[in-house]
Amino acid sequence: MGGMHEDIDRVLFSESTILEGIERVAADVTEHFRGRDFTVVSVLKGSCIFSADLIRRIPIPLELAFVSASSYGDRTTAGELEISFFPTGEIEGRNLLLVDDILDTGRTMARLKREFLDRGAAEVSTCVFLDKPSRRDVELEPDFRVLEVDDLFVVGYGLDFAGRYRNLPYVGVLEQSIYASVLEPSVDADSNA
């Protein structure tokens, strides 16, 4: 069994490039929320590494929560979004920073943002590690983003394929041979959830 690094076609963003970007975004987030209570809501599982690195660079008080979002539908249409919020509790009146690993079509982020606003959040800002605007299906721009990426199948730094590669310290393009035989043509080849 080969190592993970052999499955990577090329490295897109090194660990140092990633951390420089996170420092920049953390400074922007700090200025945005300074003097206000806010909660960082990390979308599981992909954003856990990014969220951990981000919050350690924000030198103002914050709370941390997690949300799990699963869409139940067929392969071509988005179904109902099932949301589990941890800790469970009141969202009403809170300032939220919704953090995800990648903003692709934008459907999940838009639905999460709408759901939190419907539940009475005072503010829902969005923060993404990677932004892939070429794949956007809905009108949504992140309030904060670390890096922009082309329409490539990327893994590492929280992004996975079949549950693997999240622990790579960089973002790389996965060898096409790794995913081509697994994915059917009708399946979105870039669901880095």
CA-to-CA separations, 147 to 32, 90, 98, 166, in angstroms, rounded: 19, 32, 16, 17
- pTM assigned to the model: 0.86
Mean pLDDT of the chain, nearest integer = 87
Q: Does the pLDDT of residue 4 top 50, yes or no? A: yes
- Residues known to be catalytic: 104
pLDDT bucket at 183, cuts 50 / 70 / 90: low
74-78, 79-83, 119-123, 149-153: segment of lowest average pLDDT: 74-78
pLDDT bucket at 193, cuts 50 / 70 / 90: very low
Q: What is the pLDDT of residue 84?
A: 78
